[in-house]
Amino acid sequence: MKAIIFDFDGTLADSGQCGQLATQQAFETCGLTVPTKEQIDYYMGIPIEQSFQELTNHSLTDEQFNNLLKQFREAYKELEEQTITAFPHMANVLQQLQSMFSLFVVSSKKTDVLYRNLQKLQLDTFFTDWIGSDNVTHYKPHPDGIYKIAERHGLQPSQCTLVGDATFDIQMGKAAGCNTIAVHWGSHEEAELRREQPTFYAYETRDLITILVK
């Protein structure tokens, strides 16, 4: 195994509160029924272009939908500085893994937002490359993001391990032919994740070292 591909939200960083507050604020501003925390958490692993369609039952005009996205992005940027944190011991875990593997991120965020968040958490230096939803043709759980990383860096997907907190991540990794690690500290429950039959299951961040360094 040569490379590890991480999801960002719920895997590297705890951004749940930021996503929830920004989503609820955007829906309220646009006069829409405000989704519950549970609804927001479930769709956290896929881009808002897709999740917001589900949360609004595909009922908005293009103009209304684009305004909803705009309101969310503005709220998210205002909230992220105070509400997004790296999970415990993550920097140390990444430092150890970086000495043995190439590390990448495939996220449902836009690439510029992903990089901004990685920089804010001082995690960007651990990664060789990162890719957001604006750099893929097909969103998670389609494996397009993994294929893009593999193509850019001369890898085979079978040489990569995908680490994620949502069923969409595990589905993406398996579709690409990667080993997969489902993590316990993110948005989806253990039972949901285990139904996807990940290769490994990590209960805390330092378990990644135990699993990956053999």
Same domain, 170 and 103: yes
Same domain, 115 and 170: yes
Given 33, 59, 83, the domain boundary residue is: 83
> Is the overall model pTM greater than 0.85, yes or no?
yes
Same domain, 109 and 23: no
**Tens of pLDDT, residues 172-189:** 999 999 999 999 999 899
Given 38, 53, 83, the domain boundary residue is: 83
Same domain, 145 and 164: yes
Closest CA to 161 of 145, 177, 175, 148: 177
**Tens of pLDDT, residues 18-50:** 999 999 999 999 999 999 999 998 888 789 999
**Tens of pLDDT, residues 194-211:** 999 999 999 999 999 999
Q: How many domains does the chain have?
A: 2
CATH number at residue 7: 3.40.50.1000
Same domain, 61 and 106: no
CATH number at residue 46: 1.10.150
Q: Rounded CA gap, 88 and 71, in Å?
A: 31
Same domain, 208 and 128: yes
Mean pLDDT of all residues belonging to the chain: 96
Same domain, 164 and 119: yes
Same domain, 35 and 70: yes
Domain of residue 73 covers: 16-83
Same domain, 99 and 193: yes
Q: Is the pLDDT of residue 63 over 80?
A: yes
Structure tokens at 108: 């449902």
Given 31, 54, 83, the domain boundary residue is: 83
Same domain, 29 and 112: no
Same domain, 50 and 153: no
